[in-house]
Structure 1
Amino acid sequence: MSPLRPAASASLTKAAALERAGDLYGALAAYEAALTTAPDDPEILSPLASLAGRMGLWEVAAQLWAQVSLADPDRLEAVDGQARALRELGRFEPAIGLLREALLAHPQEARLWNSLGVILTQDSQARLALTFLDEAVRLDPTNAAAVYNRAIALFDLDETEAAAEAFAQARSLAGKAADAAMIDFAAATLALARGDLAGGWAAYESRFSPDLPKALSFDVPGGRWALGGGMAGRHMLVVGEQGLGDELMFANVLPDLLAALGPRGRLSLAVEPRLAGLFARSFPEASVGAYVTDHSGQQPRRSVPGLDAVPAVDLWAPMGSLPGAFRLTVAAFPSRPGYLQPDPAAVARWRGWLGSGPPAVGLSWRSGKAAGDRARQYPPAELWAPLLRTPGVRFVNVQYGETAEELAAFRSATGAEILEPPALDLRDDIDGLAALLCALDLTVCVANATGSLAGAVGANVAILGAPAAWPRLGTDALPWYPRAKVLIAPAFGDWVPVMAAAAALVAALAR
């Protein structure tokens, strides 16, 4: 292979430096500049493909890795990279075929066995995945990634003791601080899934390890509250974190926090902007505002404009740290049906819209991101058909995102009447959605933000859950939402019994 031209070499050096500094778009432009002088050079195509994947441009990454393979057929990095990109796009069959073909030529390559095991796990084939992951570990016993992925497959299969052992082994092999931090967080969720709440919540603090790529940091006033620390009579700032559904779930502890702060204490809440109105109504004793997250650096940084003024904040805590003080056992979860309060007038308006017709059932069948690893968390669209054919009920769309094609397909396949709530932005008007959920007779949804919202406001909801979900905390329910009915798939990919149970709940309404 001929050496790079000076211009291409300079652009490549610049791109690598920009990428290390966290300027991904600048790096992308520099790689593309290098590519104009040597469009088929794998030494440029490879880092460009890797960067595309890092930026979530998986279609582009798949195409670039394919170009690398054409230019350099012996470069296994390209096979591995293309398979990962296809996996992230949810194209499991071509990814599996690509790796199987590569393994025929390179059966001693542990990385290929590991990659195939990961794809099979995400394709709801964890038992088969173990065969490939075990071979990866046999070929390379020090391969921390393969041992970690083996733990994930065991977690999927509910073999939690073996999974815990595998996580511990992977942790001992991890050569990079980032890998160790990722393993620590996964092991924390496993502990919670096993019902070890005290140990799990303590380990859950690892989500803020500075070694984790893109770990959230905070620019907020006050001292960081530590697990076990006092709070009575203090002014405490609580900052929301992770996804919308996580903030809704962790808010379960806020009434307990208010009681612990006592009459001389003060609570300030910084939440996702869409939640500010709902939280302000639900916790009138607190000062509620929206946080701001700056993504310009290598790690996101969260601040709380408007809540950092006087009176001075004494302590602050991420919302997900509070269960470590108030939810150390399942018995510590209160039995109250809900803890967030929708607007009563809005609930009344939605009931007026629904009128006195047949029972109204809300439907939400996926999250906003449903490709790659997320796909196995939700029943396939075709399995909703029997439920949608239930006579004597009306269905109401409460699925956020672009749904026109999916709704048309549901209607065409089943003839179901699916109402669409007028002038309601199901993604951004969370307060309005909360009111609608309380007006419905039942909502059937997957474990997404809509399910968390329905549970938090105490609406009648059936949540379709995948196995190995840590928020169930070692139970067959969701202790956060006592009124929610939880229907759990016996295994990933086995959604038929869950959908049958959901259809039975809907049919019972019509009787």
Structure 2
Amino acid sequence: MSRSAAAEAAPESVRALPAAPKPVAAAGDSASPEALDRINEAVKQLRMHTVLPLLSRAVAEVRADHHRQAAELAVKALEIDERCGVAWHILAICREKAGDFTNSLKCYESALSLNPDEIEIANDLGRLAYVMGMKEIAENLFARYLLSNPGSAEGSNNLACAQRDQLRFEDAIETLRPVIYANPDNALLWNTLGTILSEQGNMDQGQTFFDEALRLQPDFPKARYNRANCILALGDALTALKECEAALPGVALESERSMMRLARATMLIASGDLERGWDAYEERLNADFSDVTHYVVDKPTWTPEADMAGKRMLVVGEQGLGDEILFANVIPDILEALGPDGDLSVAVERRLIPLFRRSFPQANIDRHDTYKVDHHTVRVVKWIDADDQIDFWAPMASPLRRFRRSVDAFPNRPAFLKADPARVAYWKEKLAEAGDGPKVGIVWKSLSMSSARIRYYSPFDQWSPVLKTPGVRFVNLQYGDRAAELAEARDKLGVDIWEPPGIDLKDDLDEVAALTCALDLVVGPATCTLNIAAACGAPVWQICTPGAWPLLGTDRYPWYPQMRVFLPPAYNRWTPVMAEVAEALAKEF
């Protein structure tokens, strides 16, 4: 990195960005008192005395959380000596704290190349890479740190976190095993072991390790928060809520407080307390939340008390595709509140535009665009400009605060989206050509199977009793890579799952809507496809998980009144629930 690059990494480049998300799984802090003491000692060893006072002041500014001033001093030092690794390290920390991860990464790399023996720089760079989702790079850097610091509890913890997030659970456990034996009183290690077990779906075992972490350190808020999530997953939302609320006062970082407040909102919703839950769910829009989406919409923000009659409103889809469809449940209510003299514009993911335009012909439907800016998610609506007379706007979930303040407020509406009737007829003809028997569409996994999501989906081999149902013609609705599962069904079970021809199940969602409406039944876990089918009024059976918040504290799916829900007795207990689905399928057809 050159002097000009150092100037580009100066504070001006991120003036508009919010505070950086902080690591919540990896341990350590690049600006901790201990870390700054080490940097200060390195400053004192510098031979070029012209930069020494600048960097001494920079360290003092970092201690005071004055990262902009510290960065300016580091840049001045680099203008004198661009090969000063300590100055690059300080600038890297300042850029990280400001949320400018891209330039921070470059600064850390410069610092490490100039001071390759300063292993703490590798550790800091590893934590930043971890936060940025660069898990393999983070793992390599943590492993490098451990080579110089064998047996380090922090280093082992961070390496295990990186391995866990790559679904290498056994490797993560083996990384922790020797260091836990050597440090049995270290609550952090027991907490991380608990996260590995719980993300595999072993909630009871995970909770045992969170309990041990809390026995060792009763005021450990992250362990209590993780324990709350385990309890929620086991189906006890009210106890989970109490645990989460008990964890909050002990949290120091605002990013972690925001994360826990959002979890608390989810627990309120999962318990059926929608009045408080939807209000608290606004926390997802807090700039301090690590995964916040920043909406670039220069219009007044809608509030639940707003007089909507005759007004012009913009609603922007949020989160994933399935969420956009789920939250669209409220669009008919918005249209009714705006009335015949009002005007509604809705920005959705581009693949949903044809379906939404047909379903809501009285609304203006177009796309939103989403970008990553230095690890921050930014969503824009390019077709709405400053001249558009929009009275107010809202992310799509926010109107739930007004229109769905109780479970009883969910309408008994068979559908709120409308598939193309001509294409439904086309698929009925195609399905008739596929052979005799009822046509049952199946989907079994999400396109994104991260460590935090994999526990929500039954392994494909657990589908065996369902697929063996006599007389049923199964139709593939699974998008993404599914060749291995289709081959397994054919070779091991003798079941030829029919592949609908000429359709892109991932991108052609209007066609997916028509196909699902032509089927006799759609079965699977919560996915975009299942949401489309249910929103269009198709008969749907969802294989849910205990504690799922969309159940809203009930044993049904209020969003889609025709949906039937199947719940396993506990996480990872897929055998009984799949047997229940198979039995129900045999009775249905």
TM class, shorter-length: over 0.9
Q: Which residue of structure 1 lines up, in the alignment, with residue 577 of structure 2?
A: 498
Q: Which residue of structure 2 lines up, in the alignment, with residue 422 of structure 1?
A: 501
Match of 1:394 among 453, 473, 484: 473
**Aligned to 1:339, what secondary structure does the other structure show?**
coil
Q: Which residue of structure 2 lines up, in the alignment, with residue 476 of structure 1?
A: 555
- The amino acid that maps onto 1:349 is Y
Q: Identify the range of structure 1 (178-187 vs 157-166) with the bigger mean alpha-carbon deviation.
A: 157-166
- Check if 1:211 corresponds to 2:288: yes
| CA–CA separation in structure 2 for the residues paired with 1:183 and 1:407 | 40
Q: Identify the range of structure 1 (304-313 vs 184-193) with the bigger mean alpha-carbon deviation.
A: 304-313
Unaligned ranges ≥5, structure 1:
none
Q: Which residue of structure 2 lines up, in the alignment, with residue 363 of structure 1?
A: 442
| CA–CA separation in structure 2 for the residues paired with 1:54 and 1:182 | 14
Shift of 1:161: 2.8
Q: Which residue of structure 2 lines up, in the alignment, with residue 154 of structure 1?
A: 231
Deviations 1:286-320 (A, max 9, x none): 01111122322553332212234765011111110
- Which residues in structure 2 correspond to 1:15-414 (within 5 Å)? 15-36=92-113, 41-297=118-374, 299-308=376-385, 312-355=389-432, 357=435, 358-414=437-493
Deviations 1:23-80 (A, max 9, x none): 4344444444444456565323212222222222223323332222222114222111
Shift of 1:480: 0.5
Q: Identify the range of structure 1 (82-91 vs 27-36) with the bigger mean alpha-carbon deviation.
A: 27-36
Do 1:235 and 1:315's aligned partners in 2 also have CA atoms closer than 8 Å?
A: yes
- Check if 1:486 corresponds to 2:580: no
| CA–CA separation in structure 2 for the residues paired with 1:330 and 1:352 | 39
- The amino acid that maps onto 1:369 is S
Deviations 1:373-432 (A, max 9, x none): 211101112101222222322222111212222322332221211122222111111111
Deviations 1:185-224 (A, max 9, x none): 1011101111111111111111111211231222224311
Do 2:489 and 2:496's aligned partners in 1 also have CA atoms closer than 8 Å?
A: no
Q: Identify the range of structure 1 (296-305 vs 263-272) with the bigger mean alpha-carbon deviation.
A: 296-305
Shift of 1:100: 3.0
- The amino acid that maps onto 2:253 is K
Do 2:180 and 2:186's aligned partners in 1 also have CA atoms closer than 8 Å?
A: yes
Unaligned ranges ≥5, structure 2:
1-37, 47-82
| CA–CA separation in structure 2 for the residues paired with 1:425 and 1:332 | 36
Deviations 1:221-262 (A, max 9, x none): 431111232211111111111111111001111111111111
- The amino acid that maps onto 2:475 is V
Change (3 A) 1:497 1:371: same
**Aligned to 2:376, what secondary structure does the other structure show?**
coil
Deviations 1:322-381 (A, max 9, x none): 111111121111112111011111111111211253221111111112131211101112
Tell which structure's C-alpha radius of gyration is larger. 2
Change (3 A) 1:406 1:60: farther
Give the share of equivalent positions with the same residue, in percent: 44
- The amino acid that maps onto 1:323 is L
| CA–CA separation in structure 2 for the residues paired with 1:311 and 1:26 | 36
Residues paired across the two proteins, number: 510
Do 2:228 and 2:243's aligned partners in 1 also have CA atoms closer than 8 Å?
A: yes
Do 2:102 and 2:374's aligned partners in 1 also have CA atoms closer than 8 Å?
A: no
- The amino acid that maps onto 1:157 is L
Do 2:238 and 2:267's aligned partners in 1 also have CA atoms closer than 8 Å?
A: no
Do 1:201 and 1:321's aligned partners in 2 also have CA atoms closer than 8 Å?
A: yes
- The amino acid that maps onto 2:541 is A
Shift of 1:140: 2.3
**Aligned to 1:289, what secondary structure does the other structure show?**
strand
Do 1:40 and 1:67's aligned partners in 2 also have CA atoms closer than 8 Å?
A: no
TM-score, normalised to structure 1, is: 0.94
Q: Identify the range of structure 1 (41-50 vs 441-450) with the bigger mean alpha-carbon deviation.
A: 41-50
Do 1:464 and 1:486's aligned partners in 2 also have CA atoms closer than 8 Å?
A: yes
| CA–CA separation in structure 1 for the residues paired with 2:88 and 2:249 | 39
| CA–CA separation in structure 2 for the residues paired with 1:381 and 1:40 | 48
Change (3 A) 1:40 1:465: farther
- The amino acid that maps onto 2:535 is A
Q: Which residue of structure 2 lines up, in the alignment, with residue 448 of structure 1?
A: 527
| CA–CA separation in structure 2 for the residues paired with 1:451 and 1:239 | 21
Change (3 A) 1:211 1:25: closer
CA RMSD between the two structures:
2.2
| CA–CA separation in structure 1 for the residues paired with 2:499 and 2:100 | 42
| CA–CA separation in structure 1 for the residues paired with 2:227 and 2:278 | 23
Do 1:464 and 1:488's aligned partners in 2 also have CA atoms closer than 8 Å?
A: yes
| CA–CA separation in structure 2 for the residues paired with 1:497 and 1:40 | 55
Change (3 A) 1:153 1:284: same
Do 2:101 and 2:375's aligned partners in 1 also have CA atoms closer than 8 Å?
A: no
| CA–CA separation in structure 2 for the residues paired with 1:228 and 1:216 | 24
Do 1:221 and 1:313's aligned partners in 2 also have CA atoms closer than 8 Å?
A: no
- The amino acid that maps onto 2:255 is A
Change (3 A) 1:412 1:45: farther
Deviations 1:453-485 (A, max 9, x none): 111111111111111100110011110011111
Deviations 1:63-104 (A, max 9, x none): 332222222114222111111112112222332233232111
**Aligned to 1:288, what secondary structure does the other structure show?**
strand
Deviations 1:1-31 (A, max 9, x none): 9979965445444543443444434444444
Q: Identify the range of structure 1 (391-400 vs 491-500) with the bigger mean alpha-carbon deviation.
A: 391-400
